[in-house]
Structure 1
Amino acid sequence: MNPTWMASNIADEIQSYENPPSLRRDALRRKINRILQRGTMKDRSRCGAPRTVVFDLQHTNIQSKRTFVRRAIEELKLKPFKLKKAQKLIASNKQRRVTCAKKLIRKFGARKNGPKWEWNKIVNTDFSGIFTIEGFHNSKNVVIYVEDSSEISANLIEAPMLKHPNGVMFWGGICTKGLIPHDGPINFTEWLRDQRQNDKRKRMYMTGELYARFLREEAIPAINEVVQNLDEVIFQDDQDSKHRTQVAMDVIYDLFEERIEANDGDAKFADAWPIENI
């Protein structure tokens, strides 16, 4: 009827009808403009799948476009949470953990106001893993730009790496009065190196005798400095066989009134003892 009319003129005309569409004028004008530009009244195809199928995709494992997933996350106001490392357990480990937990509860109580509560006396100790002190080589990031490889000297093109890189191990503890020692863990690697004065071997490994000597010279003085009374301490260490040798047990029983036995503290308690996370 009026081929010279613009989208705004058509919107004004439509809104003057007895039954105008339930759209605001700006929305109506934009829709008319799209129809005029595209030459059809059919809606444009949407990018990605409809948001309502997100739950169907979860059950059927159908891959969808990343834009659709992002829109769904924004509309549902979801927050991202990364997976946390946890102790890997099989069925026998779970049964063993329950058995050990019941033993510990019978010995040291389950409630702070209970008559058996003694968890505040426990000193939780452990050795760290080995921290590598060698430099990390990333072949993807460290590159040299030259016209020809023959221009690079050998000391630049090669990255010497040890087959067994040097590392350092620490010892530490924790109790209700704080960390043991207060100023940082004990460098066990350095202490072990000092014990090699008359030994010609290149490497020394911890034995039951060395562990007992380490307890007397370093660990127990550090514990006593924090707790100030070893008679009120329940000592705990891991289930390493070297920690359960007779010479090491003699040192512990001579200086501590009580110790958490190896059979009571399961090896799969890495997520239960606080020292494991410290």
Structure 2
Amino acid sequence: MSHELSATNKKEFRSFVLHLKQLHPTWKSKEITNFLIQSENPSPYTMESALNVKVWRILNRNQVNDLPRSSTPCTTTTLEYIQAVKNNLRLTKSTTIRNVNAKLQQQGFKTSKSSIWRTKQLLKLKWWKRKVVQKLTIDRKLQCVIIAKRLRKKYGFKKGNKLYDWMYVLNTDFSGTFTLNPQSNRHNEGIYAESKSDISYELKTKSKEKFQKSVMLWGDISYQGLFSKQYPIFVDEWLELIRPKDGNRRKKMYFTGARYAQFIRTIIAQKANEELGDLRYVIFQHEQDRKQRMRVALDAVDHVFHNRIEPKDCTAKLADVWPIENVWGILKEKLRGRQYNSLEHMKNDIRSEWNQFSVSLCRRMIDKIPERLKLVIDKGGNQI
């Protein structure tokens, strides 16, 4: 067994090992170890393997003095300190490790940011991003609760019950825009340099198009999977198809109530008959945007589908209840960070990701609608 050496003895031992290396440049740690064991004053490290490791380290470091520590010593985390970190960090708005460190120092604790970080890990605290939601009035919250109760009562509370019509619901919506250029964090847009004058114009600036190229989709989800089955409907392509031949090709086309009605009566009616079969049992649901609430649009829906969720049951802000919103979110997350040279390239990726949604996944998402409506009720109409 080896015994601990004093600081002075350690330096003397290191100096002696390095001196042997200078006298015998070809010697390795093994030769020096054998010499030390056979010498008249053997090393305090009686085990050959331990002595060999010690000599090897000294030769690698090639210095007598101790190496500087790689970091500051760990702060002793007492139970009082751990509790103080927990009280200041857990379930507190707009708090940071830096702020907590400053508060604890003011309270007289010997602390550091690294100590707080280790304590956070010990407490198994994770950082969760706060969700930005629309501020709802009391009347709007009450309306959300009333509508959630009405929908559950009308279409079913739970799968397996006698009344469960959610399996017939066709949840439809327009997506947000899918831009050609990937989203980036503006806080990461910077260049490291000794001075600003060293940065070239190309590095200093970032070009941005005034009107970014983008596409918007229309799709829906049901118990039979996504609709349409092969890929979503690209709104820009359909609008180009109905553009008047003598119209201005450079003028952007928008969806109006009349165009939405035409969209339902033509392309949606055709695809629904091909892919959904008997439409007598399908319950059509769409968001109640202004164009979708117009009489001409509602008449078009009634012409194609025998059943629909009434506008009065869709006026509340229940977007986070309907699974089609999750579909758009998943698609955008899949495409995040990808670089595209053209809209067609991006559309091909959208088509590919669209086909990854299985029927079983779509059914699970539909089956969660009554549960999410229950959450709206339990939260008093707040968004979930």
Give the TM-score normalised by the residue count of structure 1. 0.70
Percent identical: 32
- The CA RMSD measured in Å over matched residues stands at 3.4
Q: Provide closer, same or farther for how the CA distance between residues 95 and 89 of structure 1 changes in structure 2, counting only shifts above 3 A.
A: farther
Aligned to 1:15: none
Aligned to 2:263: 214
Q: The residue matched to 2:312 in structure 1 has which SS? A: coil
Q: Provide closer, same or farther for how the CA distance between residues 83 and 216 of structure 1 changes in structure 2, counting only shifts above 3 A.
A: same
Length, aligned pairs only: 230
1:83 maps onto 2:132 in alignment: no
Task: Give the letter for the 2:229 counterpart.
Answer: H
More helix by share: 2
1:140 maps onto 2:168 in alignment: no
Q: Is the 8 A contact 1:48 1:65 kept in 2?
A: no
Identify unmatched segments of 5+ residues in structure 2.
Answer: 7-72, 89-99, 105-110, 328-384
2:230 corresponds, among 183, 195, 199, to 183
Q: Is the 8 A contact 1:231 1:256 kept in 2?
A: yes
Moved more, 230-239 or 190-199: 190-199
Q: Provide closer, same or farther for how the CA distance between residues 73 and 98 of structure 1 changes in structure 2, counting only shifts above 3 A.
A: same
Identify unmatched segments of 5+ residues in structure 1.
Answer: 8-44
Q: Which has the higher contact order (CA 8 A, sep 6+)?
A: 2
Q: Is the 8 A contact 1:51 1:72 kept in 2?
A: no
Give 1:1-278 correspondences, 5 Å limit: 47=75, 50-59=78-87, 62-63=103-104, 65-76=112-123, 78=124, 80=126, 82-83=128-129, 85=131, 87-90=133-136, 91-134=138-181, 140=190, 160-198=207-245, 199-200=247-248, 202-278=251-327
Q: Provide closer, same or farther for how the CA distance between residues 92 and 54 of structure 1 changes in structure 2, counting only shifts above 3 A.
A: farther
- Work out the CA distance in 1 between the residues paired with 2:164 and 2:260: 30
Q: Provide closer, same or farther for how the CA distance between residues 182 and 72 of structure 1 changes in structure 2, counting only shifts above 3 A.
A: same
Task: Give the letter for the 2:162 counterpart.
Answer: P
Task: Give the letter for the 2:220 counterpart.
Answer: G
Q: Is the 8 A contact 1:87 1:270 kept in 2?
A: no
Q: Provide closer, same or farther for how the CA distance between residues 136 and 179 of structure 1 changes in structure 2, counting only shifts above 3 A.
A: closer
- Work out the CA distance in 2 between the residues paired with 1:225 and 1:142: 58
- Work out the CA distance in 2 between the residues paired with 1:264 and 1:129: 23
Q: Is the 8 A contact 2:85 2:116 kept in 1?
A: no
Q: Is the 8 A contact 2:143 2:316 kept in 1?
A: no
Task: Give the letter for the 1:172 counterpart.
Answer: G
Deviations 1:206-261 (A, max 9, x none): 11111011112222333333321111100000010101112111111112111111
Q: The residue matched to 1:99 in structure 2 has which SS? A: helix
Q: The residue matched to 1:168 in structure 2 has which SS? A: strand
- Work out the CA distance in 2 between the residues paired with 1:141 and 1:130: 30
Q: Is the 8 A contact 2:219 2:233 kept in 1?
A: yes
Task: Give the letter for the 1:109 counterpart.
Answer: G
- Work out the CA distance in 2 between the residues paired with 1:75 and 1:241: 52
Q: Provide closer, same or farther for how the CA distance between residues 141 and 211 of structure 1 changes in structure 2, counting only shifts above 3 A.
A: farther
Q: What is the deviation of 1:175?
A: 0.3
Q: What is the deviation of 1:74?
A: 3.9
Q: Is the 8 A contact 1:133 1:166 kept in 2?
A: yes
Q: The residue matched to 1:128 in structure 2 has which SS? A: strand
